[in-house]
Structure 1
Amino acid sequence: MKDGQISRRAVLIGASAAAAWAASPARAMLLQAGGKKLPAAVESLLAQMTVEEKAGQLTLMAAAWSGGAAVTLNPAGASSNFDGQLAEVRAGRLTGVFNGNGAAMAKRMQTVATRDSRLRIPLLFAADVIHGFRTVFPVPMGEAASFDPDLAERTARVAAVEAAAAGIDWTFAPMVDIARDARWGRGVEGAGEDVLLGKLIAAARVRGFQGAKGLEAADAVAACAKHFAAYGAVEAGLDYNTVDISERTLRETYFPPFQAALAAGAPTVMASFNELSGIPATANEWLLTEVLRREWGFDGLVVSDYTADEELIAHGFAADAREATKLAFMAGVDMSMQSGFYIKHLPDLVARGEVPMARLDEAVRRVLALKVQLGLFDDPFRRIDPAREKARVRTRANLALAREAGSRSIVMLKNEGGLLPLPRAGKKIALIGPFASGLHDLIGPWNVYGTDAEAVDLATGVKALVQDPALVSVTAGAGLDGPIPGGIEAAVVAARAADVVVLAVGEHARMSGEAQSRSAIVVPPAQMALAEAVAATGKPVVVLLRNGRALALEGAVLKAPAILVTWFLGSEDGPAIADVLFGVVSPSGRLPVSFPQATGQEPYHYDHKPTGRPNPAGPLQEYKTHFREFPNQALFPFGHGLTYGEIAYSDLDLGGGQLSADGKLVVSATIANSGSRAAEEVVQLYIRDVAASVTRPVRELKAFRRVALKPGERKQVQFTLSRADLLFIGQTLKPTVEPGKFQLWIAPSAEAEGVSGSFELV
């Protein structure tokens, strides 16, 4: 059935949907229970539901009526039949769908649910709104480079407003996995390698998606913290691979961002694909029940990832579909996504006493509770409005925010000789590389509803800012994955004719994201050959890196005097890059992931342990911790990023140097900009517990602050430490802190000295 045919049929629904809902049993029960008194209303519904209808409330499927990227991302859904899916709705065998095709589709399906099904329970519409809806913002890792949770909250808010206008109630975001192996492609969806930054960004995105007025607001979407847990720790950075780490590492590194998301109000959690110490997360009772529910007190909904319950069979953990259903459900997965296992097997498992009715009712209560929270029992069509859908997307204000977010996500790695910013007049500029122009690889991976065709490319952004666009030449030089005939020769000619080369190279969008692990995290060979040839012309080169992960830079790319990390910046990609290139905006992004010396250094993270044989400062020594070729340090560390100012740190004040168990310690440093341009510095506070009953990292980020500095301006930046900032997971696997000496740095990155000293916890 074609979309156009369905749209015409949907128009005929009219006001009958509202009338049908007003007379529905679910609506009547809600009113009898006092409107929003959830328990009584839910219990009334439960008492009338058959076991199959209960299993239906726990079954979520990809929308059969989808379009665009959803067809690729959800191939099983793309081949489904929409009329067949409507029949499932009528029969009460479906709780909702995800990644559907907008308000017209949602209105059609919701009308069937609330008019034709027996209990007329509203459907739930979900989607992967990862970094924007139709207005696309920087990929999450790129946006995390802003080191600005407020920005993350604002972009999530716009994404929610646009998505909700298209009928979406629930987003499978934020991804809060800590990612410490750049080979893993899904790191692009998260906030990087650091726990503190991960926690702050996770909470901000939840607040943004859900808004300040409550989930029932028509512009709110429910957040889903994913993937629980430790998906970012897969062996060898290989997607879906095994995870085997200590409980201490789980509690210290991988759990905190989830706890932050739940504390911010996320009502749902998605179980991860990976196994954890031999037990797949989807069937891990310790993880989903002991920790999440009993220890943390989470009373919301747990959903599987896409067919993850089915994958228990391939894991070798379940013998067949029936056993997989039982294992996942009894471990704590309330809702099954896409496999269809719950609707197929739960009724029989309950009938035979293998799954208690109490457990089934518990899961259904959680689903119904979410629907009540979202206001669907008050008005199932509250987010379904085709006119509003058109009016709220890609507004001027939304696109302006995309441009702001893009420019603030860019990280300047190098700027030798003050090559940047480029002048807007009088210079011939050669834009060279596969990302120099064209409506491709702009919005990046994992966006279902935005398109590159609606985004703005680099060449357009640059030509809009320069005084004379005729002085800008554009040459591809190489393809995304291989050479093009005559490409390098044409690029060399263009470079020789220019005053400066802007070389746009890196990864295309399909190199990052789910199932896109890379064994070598380098710029592709054909693009490296292009870079070498362009560099050989002797013209000054500005490298623009297109990437969804940390890269191991080498050769002419690394040697270029100026390097900007530009990620995938979304709808306003080209204008955002141009703003930084020409100094309209001073770069203020900082790396949320460490760039390694080489791929073989992965997994690498700045807060590693020192080992018993750390290499002292200076030359590499025999029988110390380092690779043969380079020290155990990053090429460009976490937190690194330059501005157009000249920044210096001085005057460390340790506030007396002692912190009492119930007191506060105020530390400060002076940050000065001696340059001729305004700058925005991200001042970072790190500590190290020198000696503890459990070994501690060489540094840990404890706070950061963005500071705007005019030319010649100096500011004192203060941080306040308390005992809580020094907690770690002790030998008993409980948070603890011990008296002793702590080193402290106020610095521009995790491996910079900045100003440093020590204090004592007494």
Structure 2
Amino acid sequence: MLTTELRELLNQMTIEEKVGQTIQLSADFFSEETEDITGPMNEMAMTEEKKFQIGSVLGVTGAEKTIKLQKEYMEKHRLSIPLLFMADVIHGDHTIFPIPLGLGATWDPEMIKEAASISAKEAAAQGLHVTFSPMVDLVRDPRWGRVLESTGEDKTLNKHYARAFVEGYQGADLKEDLTKLAACVKHFAGYGAPRGGRDYNSVDLNENTFREHYLPAYQEGIDAGAKLVMTAFNTIDNIPATGNKRLMREILRKEMNFNGVLISDWGAIGELVPHGVAQDNKQAAELALEAGVDIEMMSAAYSEHLVELVKTDKSLETLLDETVMNILVLKEELGLFDNPYRGADAEIEKIAIFSSENKEVALKAAEKSLVLLENKKALPLDRSEKVVLTGPMKNSHDLLGAWSWKGDKTKTPTLKEAMDNHLGKDTVKVIDETEIFNGAQSFLIAELQEADTVLVALGETSEMSGEATSRTNIQLPKIQIELLKELRKLNKKVVAVLFNGRPLDLSEVTPLVDGLVEAWFPGSKGADAIVNVLYGVINPSGRLSMTFPRSVGQIPIFYNQDNTGRPSEQGKPADKYLSKYLDSENTPLYPFGYGLSYTTFEYTNLRLSKTEVTSADSIEASVTVRNTGLSEGTETVQLYIRDKVGEVVRPVKELHDFKQIRLKAGESRIVNFTISEDQLRYTHADHTVKSDAGEFLLGIGADSTIELTHSFNLIN
């Protein structure tokens, strides 16, 4: 339909029908399995007539269900405007990939794009139109449970990932390509910076930090063409995002040029009341509409009050028309007016979901996401080694993570099962960790004494990270630390595999292990990926996209912190009056960009093509990277820059670019980077983005601890 036709359709709609388009209900309201939904219907101010005027449904899955509901809905809707079906396809639909924090550790945007494309294909075959992904919130506090949905702490890396997710989900043409979904960038804005790391808490960001570090990934997702943006639960400038007119209309719509659909998070409009900026749902509805929120997800403000508000205040009808037009345009962009059952096909669904091809990509993604944190000549394991497997996660199917709601744990191999499949059944001996604490029976003691290596599977359960799972203690459970201490007494090699959804405080773990593999929640093929890495079939290449602290007391700790007037790096260790702790180093346990390999890499001959750059030209930086080990491996070459003097304080270093290269043993390669003036711009005191003339320092290396040793000047 053309815009004029959509406008004609809008003009045919009653106010009640327009308001209906702004309302999203969950699948429960349409489920035949739900015997009595009187309570939810009343809570949502919903009647049977209103139910068949709403614009979208959350969480309906399966081609047969979506086709049936769409048909019933259009038969009952006066103008036969099709429904939108939306769902949380976060890191996979039925084929589950590593959690986004794990995908972030791949440092491979193309891998993420492929994963998003497969997720879209599986979901679209079930009749879904929109995924509530990607979450591009920058996160610096691992106490926050939803860090597992983030790709990390760095704006440059997050920008690459935001674009990769959006392009993977949406493809080139949503109307023509029925295997794609509309992407929803979330949560706008600053949701990843709650005070104290406590979910749903207030956010306190100064304007410069907000614009310089938090907005860029949202902007990249919008520039990549994301069709929707979701509001955040938190406040910005002490105003809840969902009712924040300046944030949504001035910054999102005007400055960032977003012209798609703005949807609230679950119940967020109604939450303007407990936030204390609205006295009731009626005022909440007015504030949200004025802020430009197009769709209300699962609260009753719009459904209960918007018709009355618009009829009594004609100025609000113009805002309502804008909102409905945004929704109709999205439905047209998806091709729903021509094909209301877009993509839904029960036969294709059977073929598309959890296919062997999809699982192969999930395996590859999991392999690339694993980060080798420690290796004291313990890995890779040799197939001839006698290995004993223990730990609470040794035979757990809980490898999918908290947001894998359509993943099937029963079809997810455990670490024990994967080892049996790869090495032969019962080749690896299994001992229950409780037996070790009980002193073990004699035959168990013999098994342990005969072992060359004890492999310990540790970590969080999926219920310990994700939404509403903030923690003040981000160490492993004490019983797991005690297990490591008992195993250390055996004088055997101890290798630990960690399953978790956040950076942990591993300060007690590191001294107790000879090898340490960060596996995250690795997805459907995660256990197979772990075995491949443990036994050297795959050389680990994952790199941290978020800092691991030495203790919770360091949080927030991130690599690109601002310098201070009294930096501890001044070389005055005896001076008390520096920015430091009395009881800890300033440095993290494992820094941003860090990860080991089974081979080693050497960096030499860092060179700049010249020492001055203007807005009209660029500088080439090059470095020679050589594989000095005995095996082929992948290295992530990272370029960091520091602006020595700025109008506002600048970070001690910032990631500006990175490249992955694969080198055979003994092979070397020159890696080149181009640096131009636009890469040196930053947010100034007046919030303009521009560069300053002056000196910059540059370094290229394997992680964020690289020294910045080469300088160049920007000439304006």
CA–CA separation in structure 1 for the residues paired with 2:283 and 2:581: 47
Aligned-partner residue type, residue 450 of structure 1: G
Question: Which of 554, 561, 581 is the matching residue for 2:534?
Answer: 581
Aligned-partner residue type, residue 595 of structure 2: G
Partner of 1:28: none
Q: CA deviation at 1:328?
A: 1.1
Q: CA deviation at 1:634?
A: 1.2
Partner of 1:447: 404
CA–CA separation in structure 1 for the residues paired with 2:348 and 2:524: 21
CA–CA separation in structure 2 for the residues paired with 1:714 and 1:455: 39
Percent identity, please: 39
Partner of 1:651: 605
Residue 420 in structure 1 maps to residue 360 in structure 2: no
On the 8 A contact 2:174/2:335 being kept in 1, the answer is no
Q: CA deviation at 1:591?
A: 0.2
Residue 46 in structure 1 maps to residue 10 in structure 2: yes
Aligned-partner residue type, residue 467 of structure 2: E
CA–CA separation in structure 2 for the residues paired with 1:442 and 1:454: 11
Question: Which of 294, 298, 304 is the matching residue for 1:334?
Answer: 294
Partner of 1:498: 451
Q: CA deviation at 1:674?
A: 1.1
CA–CA separation in structure 1 for the residues paired with 2:237 and 2:162: 25
Residue 740 in structure 1 maps to residue 694 in structure 2: yes
- Determine helix, strand or coil for the equivalent of 2:433: coil
Residue 312 in structure 1 maps to residue 272 in structure 2: yes
On the 8 A contact 1:645/1:676 being kept in 2, the answer is yes
Aligned-partner residue type, residue 129 of structure 2: D
Aligned-partner residue type, residue 470 of structure 1: D
CA–CA separation in structure 1 for the residues paired with 2:469 and 2:174: 36
CA–CA separation in structure 1 for the residues paired with 2:69 and 2:675: 53
Gap change, CA 1:493 and 1:180, over 3 Å in 2: farther
Question: Which of 144, 159, 163 is the matching residue for 1:184?
Answer: 144
Aligned-partner residue type, residue 58 of structure 1: T
Partner of 1:471: 427
CA–CA separation in structure 1 for the residues paired with 2:45 and 2:417: 43
Partner of 1:711: 665
On the 8 A contact 1:282/1:308 being kept in 2, the answer is yes
1:481-509 deviation per Cα after TM superposition (whole angstroms, max 9, x unaligned): xxx99567478665334110111111111
On the 8 A contact 1:501/1:539 being kept in 2, the answer is yes
Runs of 5+ unmatched residues, structure 1: 1-35, 479-483
Aligned-partner residue type, residue 228 of structure 1: F
Gap change, CA 1:579 and 1:244, over 3 Å in 2: same
Partner of 2:311: 351
Gap change, CA 1:117 and 1:190, over 3 Å in 2: same
On the 8 A contact 1:330/1:355 being kept in 2, the answer is no
TM-score of the superposed pair, with normalisation by structure 1: 0.90
Q: CA deviation at 1:66?
A: 8.7
Runs of 5+ unmatched residues, structure 2: none
Aligned-partner residue type, residue 388 of structure 2: A
- Determine helix, strand or coil for the equivalent of 2:662: strand
Partner of 1:121: 81
Aligned-partner residue type, residue 282 of structure 1: T
CA–CA separation in structure 2 for the residues paired with 1:616 and 1:252: 25
Q: CA deviation at 1:327?
A: 0.8
Residue 542 in structure 1 maps to residue 495 in structure 2: yes
Q: Count matched residues.
A: 709
On the 8 A contact 2:437/2:483 being kept in 1, the answer is no
Partner of 2:391: 433
Partner of 2:24: 60
Alpha carbon RMSD of aligned pairs, Å?
Answer: 2.2
Q: CA deviation at 1:747?
A: 1.0
On the 8 A contact 1:63/1:78 being kept in 2, the answer is no
Residue 217 in structure 1 maps to residue 217 in structure 2: no
Question: Which of 643, 648, 655 is the matching residue for 1:694?
Answer: 648
On the 8 A contact 2:496/2:513 being kept in 1, the answer is yes
Residue 685 in structure 1 maps to residue 622 in structure 2: no
Aligned-partner residue type, residue 376 of structure 1: L
- Determine helix, strand or coil for the equivalent of 2:10: helix
Partner of 2:713: 760
On the 8 A contact 2:436/2:486 being kept in 1, the answer is no
Gap change, CA 1:620 and 1:724, over 3 Å in 2: farther
Gap change, CA 1:170 and 1:409, over 3 Å in 2: same
1:369-392 deviation per Cα after TM superposition (whole angstroms, max 9, x unaligned): 100001100110122212211111
Aligned-partner residue type, residue 698 of structure 1: V
Gap change, CA 1:215 and 1:488, over 3 Å in 2: farther
CA–CA separation in structure 2 for the residues paired with 1:77 and 1:715: 64
Residue 672 in structure 1 maps to residue 626 in structure 2: yes
On the 8 A contact 1:649/1:672 being kept in 2, the answer is yes
On the 8 A contact 2:507/2:589 being kept in 1, the answer is no
Equivalent positions of 1:494-643 (< 5 A) are 494-616=447-569, 619=573, 621-643=575-597
CA–CA separation in structure 2 for the residues paired with 1:77 and 1:679: 57
Aligned-partner residue type, residue 741 of structure 1: E
CA–CA separation in structure 2 for the residues paired with 1:162 and 1:125: 14
- Determine helix, strand or coil for the equivalent of 1:356: helix
Aligned-partner residue type, residue 268 of structure 1: L
Residue 151 in structure 1 maps to residue 135 in structure 2: no
Q: CA deviation at 1:212?
A: 2.7
Question: Which of 373, 378, 390 is the matching residue for 2:338?
Answer: 378
On the 8 A contact 1:96/1:125 being kept in 2, the answer is yes
1:723-753 deviation per Cα after TM superposition (whole angstroms, max 9, x unaligned): 0111110121110111111111101111133
Partner of 2:415: 458
- Determine helix, strand or coil for the equivalent of 2:505: coil
CA–CA separation in structure 1 for the residues paired with 2:574 and 2:410: 50
CA–CA separation in structure 2 for the residues paired with 1:66 and 1:232: 33
Q: CA deviation at 1:655?
A: 1.4
Gap change, CA 1:509 and 1:541, over 3 Å in 2: same
TM-score of the superposed pair, with normalisation by structure 2: 0.95
1:89-137 deviation per Cα after TM superposition (whole angstroms, max 9, x unaligned): 7764311211123222211210012222211110000000000000000
Partner of 1:3: none
On the 8 A contact 1:435/1:476 being kept in 2, the answer is no
- Determine helix, strand or coil for the equivalent of 2:222: helix
Residue 94 in structure 1 maps to residue 54 in structure 2: yes
CA–CA separation in structure 1 for the residues paired with 2:172 and 2:218: 20
